[in-house]
A and B are shown apart, each in its own frame.
Chain A
Amino acid sequence: MPTVIIGSAKDIVEHCGVPRFVFSDFPLGNPCGHPWDTDMQTAIVKLALSVLESAVAPRTTVRAPFEWKPEDPEWRGRYNRVTDENRAQLLAIGDQRRRERGQAPRG
Protein backbone atom coordinates (compact mmCIF):
# COMPACT_ATOMS: atom_id res chain seq x y z
CA MET A 1 0.00 0.00 0.00
CA PRO A 2 1.61 3.30 -1.04
CA THR A 3 1.72 5.70 1.87
CA VAL A 4 2.82 9.21 2.78
CA ILE A 5 3.12 10.60 6.29
CA ILE A 6 2.36 14.22 7.19
CA GLY A 7 4.04 15.07 10.47
CA SER A 8 6.09 17.56 12.44
CA ALA A 9 8.70 15.44 14.26
CA LYS A 10 11.26 15.24 11.47
CA ASP A 11 13.96 13.51 13.47
CA ILE A 12 11.63 10.82 14.83
CA VAL A 13 10.06 10.02 11.47
CA GLU A 14 13.38 9.94 9.62
CA HIS A 15 14.98 7.85 12.37
CA CYS A 16 12.18 5.34 11.93
CA GLY A 17 12.45 5.32 8.15
CA VAL A 18 9.26 5.76 6.11
CA PRO A 19 8.49 5.61 2.40
CA ARG A 20 7.37 9.24 1.97
CA PHE A 21 7.19 12.11 4.44
CA VAL A 22 5.86 15.65 4.27
CA PHE A 23 7.44 17.61 7.08
CA SER A 24 5.34 20.44 8.51
CA ASP A 25 7.66 22.58 10.58
CA PHE A 26 5.01 23.42 13.18
CA PRO A 27 4.48 22.65 16.86
CA LEU A 28 3.35 19.08 17.36
CA GLY A 29 -0.41 18.73 16.96
CA ASN A 30 -1.22 20.45 13.67
CA PRO A 31 0.64 18.56 10.95
CA CYS A 32 -1.87 19.46 8.23
CA GLY A 33 -1.73 23.21 8.73
CA HIS A 34 -2.57 26.10 11.01
CA PRO A 35 -5.94 25.78 12.73
CA TRP A 36 -8.77 27.15 10.60
CA ASP A 37 -6.47 27.99 7.65
CA THR A 38 -8.25 26.01 4.94
CA ASP A 39 -6.01 27.26 2.13
CA MET A 40 -2.88 26.07 3.94
CA GLN A 41 -4.48 22.75 4.85
CA THR A 42 -5.49 22.17 1.24
CA ALA A 43 -1.98 23.04 0.09
CA ILE A 44 -0.32 20.66 2.53
CA VAL A 45 -2.58 17.74 1.64
CA LYS A 46 -2.09 18.53 -2.04
CA LEU A 47 1.66 18.44 -1.44
CA ALA A 48 1.32 15.05 0.25
CA LEU A 49 -0.55 13.71 -2.78
CA SER A 50 2.15 15.13 -5.00
CA VAL A 51 4.87 13.40 -2.99
CA LEU A 52 2.85 10.19 -3.13
CA GLU A 53 3.10 10.40 -6.89
CA SER A 54 6.57 11.84 -7.43
CA ALA A 55 8.68 9.95 -4.89
CA VAL A 56 10.85 7.25 -6.45
CA ALA A 57 12.55 5.80 -3.38
CA PRO A 58 11.94 5.32 0.35
CA ARG A 59 13.01 7.95 2.87
CA THR A 60 11.73 10.73 0.64
CA THR A 61 11.20 13.88 2.74
CA VAL A 62 9.67 17.10 1.45
CA ARG A 63 9.27 20.15 3.68
CA ALA A 64 5.93 21.96 3.47
CA PRO A 65 6.65 25.59 2.51
CA PHE A 66 5.02 27.17 5.54
CA GLU A 67 6.14 28.62 8.84
CA TRP A 68 4.42 28.68 12.20
CA LYS A 69 2.68 31.88 13.30
CA PRO A 70 4.95 34.95 13.23
CA GLU A 71 3.52 36.16 16.53
CA ASP A 72 5.01 33.11 18.25
CA PRO A 73 8.71 33.04 17.33
CA GLU A 74 9.65 31.20 20.55
CA TRP A 75 7.70 28.02 19.88
CA ARG A 76 10.71 25.88 18.96
CA GLY A 77 12.16 26.04 22.46
CA ARG A 78 8.97 25.21 24.30
CA TYR A 79 8.02 21.52 24.05
CA ASN A 80 9.44 19.28 26.79
CA ARG A 81 11.96 21.96 27.72
CA VAL A 82 14.23 21.45 30.72
CA THR A 83 15.59 24.60 32.33
CA ASP A 84 17.29 25.49 35.57
CA GLU A 85 13.93 26.95 36.61
CA ASN A 86 11.86 23.80 36.09
CA ARG A 87 14.36 21.02 36.75
CA ALA A 88 13.42 20.55 40.42
CA GLN A 89 9.73 20.62 39.56
CA LEU A 90 10.19 17.97 36.88
CA LEU A 91 11.96 15.68 39.34
CA ALA A 92 9.12 16.23 41.83
CA ILE A 93 6.59 15.31 39.13
CA GLY A 94 8.55 12.18 38.31
CA ASP A 95 8.76 11.24 41.99
CA GLN A 96 5.01 11.66 42.37
CA ARG A 97 4.42 9.33 39.43
CA ARG A 98 6.82 6.78 40.93
CA ARG A 99 5.07 6.97 44.31
CA GLU A 100 1.73 6.35 42.60
CA ARG A 101 3.22 3.21 41.07
CA GLY A 102 4.75 2.06 44.35
CA GLN A 103 8.29 2.90 43.28
CA ALA A 104 10.96 4.74 45.19
CA PRO A 105 11.47 8.45 44.50
CA ARG A 106 14.76 9.65 43.05
CA GLY A 107 14.82 13.09 44.61
Chain B
Amino acid sequence: MTKEPSGPPVQYMKRTRNYYRALGYENDYQWAHHDDVPFTPLAKPVRDMTVALVTTAGPPDGSNRDARNRRQVWLGEVADVPKRLTTDLAWDKESTHTDDRETFLPIDAMNRLIEAGVVGGLARRFHGAATDYSQAKTLEHDAPEILRRLREDGADAAILTAF
Protein backbone atom coordinates (compact mmCIF):
# COMPACT_ATOMS: atom_id res chain seq x y z
CA MET B 1 0.00 0.00 0.00
CA THR B 2 1.58 3.28 -1.10
CA LYS B 3 0.87 6.29 1.07
CA GLU B 4 1.89 9.89 0.93
CA PRO B 5 4.55 10.68 3.53
CA SER B 6 3.12 11.83 6.84
CA GLY B 7 5.78 14.49 7.10
CA PRO B 8 9.15 15.58 5.73
CA PRO B 9 12.16 13.37 6.42
CA VAL B 10 13.75 14.04 9.79
CA GLN B 11 16.74 16.37 9.50
CA TYR B 12 19.13 14.26 11.53
CA MET B 13 22.20 16.39 10.87
CA LYS B 14 20.52 19.53 12.21
CA ARG B 15 18.83 17.61 15.05
CA THR B 16 22.10 16.00 16.14
CA ARG B 17 24.06 19.24 15.82
CA ASN B 18 21.60 21.03 18.08
CA TYR B 19 21.57 18.14 20.54
CA TYR B 20 25.32 18.11 20.98
CA ARG B 21 25.43 21.88 21.26
CA ALA B 22 22.84 21.57 24.03
CA LEU B 23 25.14 19.05 25.72
CA GLY B 24 27.74 21.81 25.68
CA TYR B 25 29.98 20.62 22.91
CA GLU B 26 31.31 23.37 20.70
CA ASN B 27 32.84 21.52 17.77
CA ASP B 28 30.13 20.31 15.42
CA TYR B 29 30.52 16.82 13.97
CA GLN B 30 31.50 16.83 10.30
CA TRP B 31 29.57 14.17 8.42
CA ALA B 32 31.25 12.35 5.56
CA HIS B 33 30.80 13.99 2.19
CA HIS B 34 32.06 12.96 -1.21
CA ASP B 35 31.81 15.07 -4.34
CA ASP B 36 32.60 12.04 -6.49
CA VAL B 37 30.49 8.98 -5.79
CA PRO B 38 31.53 5.67 -7.37
CA PHE B 39 28.99 3.62 -9.27
CA THR B 40 29.53 0.04 -10.35
CA PRO B 41 26.96 -1.31 -12.80
CA LEU B 42 25.73 -4.86 -12.45
CA ALA B 43 27.52 -7.53 -14.47
CA LYS B 44 24.48 -9.81 -14.52
CA PRO B 45 20.78 -9.71 -13.61
CA VAL B 46 19.93 -9.76 -9.91
CA ARG B 47 18.15 -13.09 -10.36
CA ASP B 48 21.53 -14.62 -11.21
CA MET B 49 23.53 -12.84 -8.53
CA THR B 50 24.89 -13.76 -5.16
CA VAL B 51 24.22 -10.83 -2.86
CA ALA B 52 25.87 -10.25 0.51
CA LEU B 53 24.53 -8.42 3.54
CA VAL B 54 26.51 -5.84 5.50
CA THR B 55 25.12 -4.43 8.74
CA THR B 56 26.15 -1.82 11.31
CA ALA B 57 25.21 -4.11 14.19
CA GLY B 58 27.87 -5.73 16.34
CA PRO B 59 28.36 -9.32 17.54
CA PRO B 60 26.50 -10.35 20.71
CA ASP B 61 29.69 -10.82 22.72
CA GLY B 62 31.34 -7.52 21.81
CA SER B 63 34.25 -9.41 20.29
CA ASN B 64 34.63 -6.76 17.58
CA ARG B 65 36.13 -4.37 20.12
CA ASP B 66 39.91 -4.08 19.99
CA ALA B 67 42.35 -3.28 22.82
CA ARG B 68 41.51 0.43 22.41
CA ASN B 69 37.79 -0.36 22.58
CA ARG B 70 37.35 0.58 18.93
CA ARG B 71 34.81 -1.35 16.87
CA GLN B 72 36.43 -3.41 14.15
CA VAL B 73 34.76 -5.11 11.20
CA TRP B 74 33.47 -8.59 11.90
CA LEU B 75 31.59 -11.36 10.14
CA GLY B 76 29.27 -14.27 10.75
CA GLU B 77 27.70 -17.20 8.94
CA VAL B 78 24.17 -16.57 7.68
CA ALA B 79 23.35 -20.21 8.46
CA ASP B 80 24.28 -19.70 12.10
CA VAL B 81 23.55 -16.06 12.91
CA PRO B 82 22.85 -15.18 16.55
CA LYS B 83 19.25 -14.28 17.29
CA ARG B 84 20.35 -11.06 19.00
CA LEU B 85 23.16 -8.81 17.86
CA THR B 86 24.66 -5.86 19.67
CA THR B 87 22.94 -2.65 18.76
CA ASP B 88 24.65 -0.21 21.12
CA LEU B 89 24.59 2.53 18.52
CA ALA B 90 22.71 5.76 17.96
CA TRP B 91 19.15 4.88 16.99
CA ASP B 92 15.68 5.93 18.18
CA LYS B 93 15.40 3.92 21.38
CA GLU B 94 12.25 5.78 22.47
CA SER B 95 10.28 5.03 19.32
CA THR B 96 11.22 1.46 18.52
CA HIS B 97 13.38 -1.55 19.40
CA THR B 98 15.86 -3.83 17.70
CA ASP B 99 14.59 -7.14 19.07
CA ASP B 100 13.77 -8.30 15.54
CA ARG B 101 17.12 -8.85 13.89
CA GLU B 102 15.45 -8.89 10.47
CA THR B 103 14.85 -5.14 10.73
CA PHE B 104 18.58 -4.55 10.24
CA LEU B 105 19.96 -7.87 8.96
CA PRO B 106 17.27 -9.28 6.64
CA ILE B 107 18.57 -12.82 6.13
CA ASP B 108 15.12 -14.42 6.21
CA ALA B 109 13.79 -11.83 3.76
CA MET B 110 16.64 -12.61 1.40
CA ASN B 111 15.92 -16.33 1.66
CA ARG B 112 12.26 -15.73 0.79
CA LEU B 113 13.36 -13.75 -2.25
CA ILE B 114 15.75 -16.50 -3.31
CA GLU B 115 12.86 -18.96 -3.06
CA ALA B 116 10.76 -16.63 -5.20
CA GLY B 117 13.46 -16.43 -7.86
CA VAL B 118 14.06 -12.70 -7.38
CA VAL B 119 17.74 -13.07 -6.45
CA GLY B 120 20.18 -15.86 -7.18
CA GLY B 121 21.61 -16.41 -3.73
CA LEU B 122 22.83 -15.03 -0.43
CA ALA B 123 26.55 -15.02 0.32
CA ARG B 124 27.32 -17.48 3.09
CA ARG B 125 28.80 -14.81 5.36
CA PHE B 126 27.34 -11.49 6.42
CA HIS B 127 29.60 -8.65 7.51
CA GLY B 128 29.43 -6.06 10.23
CA ALA B 129 30.85 -2.56 10.22
CA ALA B 130 29.60 -0.96 13.42
CA THR B 131 29.64 2.82 13.41
CA ASP B 132 32.92 4.03 14.90
CA TYR B 133 32.84 7.70 13.88
CA SER B 134 36.20 7.66 12.13
CA GLN B 135 35.96 8.53 8.47
CA ALA B 136 39.65 7.76 7.97
CA LYS B 137 39.25 4.30 9.51
CA THR B 138 36.17 3.62 7.39
CA LEU B 139 37.84 4.70 4.15
CA GLU B 140 41.31 3.34 4.74
CA HIS B 141 40.62 0.12 6.60
CA ASP B 142 37.02 -0.99 7.16
CA ALA B 143 35.64 -0.54 3.64
CA PRO B 144 38.64 -2.12 1.88
CA GLU B 145 38.61 -5.05 4.32
CA ILE B 146 34.89 -5.66 3.84
CA LEU B 147 35.32 -5.46 0.07
CA ARG B 148 38.10 -8.03 0.27
CA ARG B 149 35.83 -10.32 2.31
CA LEU B 150 32.90 -9.83 -0.07
CA ARG B 151 35.08 -10.85 -2.99
CA GLU B 152 36.39 -13.80 -1.03
CA ASP B 153 32.77 -14.89 -0.57
CA GLY B 154 32.04 -14.60 -4.28
CA ALA B 155 29.50 -11.84 -3.78
CA ASP B 156 28.33 -10.03 -6.91
CA ALA B 157 26.78 -7.15 -4.96
CA ALA B 158 26.05 -6.06 -1.41
CA ILE B 159 23.12 -4.62 0.52
CA LEU B 160 24.24 -2.37 3.35
CA THR B 161 21.74 -1.85 6.14
CA ALA B 162 22.43 1.15 8.35
CA PHE B 163 20.88 1.86 11.74
A97 touching B40, Cβ below 8 Å: no
Bound: A58/B5 CA distance, A? 24
Considering residues A1, A36, A73, A93, which has the most beta carbons from chain B within 10 angstroms of its beta carbon? A1
B159 touching A4, Cβ below 8 Å: yes
Encode B31-56 as 1/0 by CB contact (under 8 A) with A: 11111111111100110000100000
Bound: A37/B23 CA distance, A? 36
The interface residues of chain B lying within 8 Å CB-to-CB of A10 are 9-10
Q: How large is the interface on A (under 10, 10 to 19, 20 to 34, 35 or more residues)?
A: 35 or more
The interface residues of chain A lying within 8 Å CB-to-CB of B51 are 49, 52
Contacts of A1-56 to chain B: CB distance below 8 A: 1-13, 15-19, 23, 25-36, 38, 41-42, 44-46, 48-50, 52-53, 55
A6 touching B95, Cβ below 8 Å: no
Q: Which of B60-68, B71-79, B84-92 contacts A (4 or more CB under 8 A)?
A: B84-92
Contacts of A64-79 to chain B: CB distance below 8 A: 65-68, 72-73, 75-76, 78-79
Nearest residue, chain B, Cβ from A79: B92
Partner of A81, one of B3, B15, B155: B15
The interface size of chain B toward A, counting residues with CB under 8 Å, comes to 71
A42 touching B22, Cβ below 8 Å: no
Nearest residue, chain B, Cβ from A82: B22
The interface residues of chain B lying within 8 Å CB-to-CB of A45 are 106, 109-110, 113, 159
Partner of B99, one of A1, A7, A35, A68: A35
The interface residues of chain A lying within 8 Å CB-to-CB of B33 are 15-17
Bound: A98/B150 CA distance, A? 40
Partner of A13, one of B5, B14, B162: B162
A91 touching B22, Cβ below 8 Å: yes
With A15-B13, A19-B39, A49-B119 as contacts: A75 and B95 at CB distance below 8 Å: yes
Q: Could you list 5 A-B pairs, sorted by A, with CB under 8 Å?
A: A2-B42, A19-B38, A29-B103, A30-B96, A45-B109
Extra inter-chain contacts (14) besides given A28-B90, A65-B3, A86-B22, CB under 8 Å: A2-B41, A2-B157, A7-B161, A9-B162, A17-B37, A32-B161, A46-B109, A52-B51, A58-B38, A75-B92, A78-B94, A91-B22, A97-B23, A107-B24
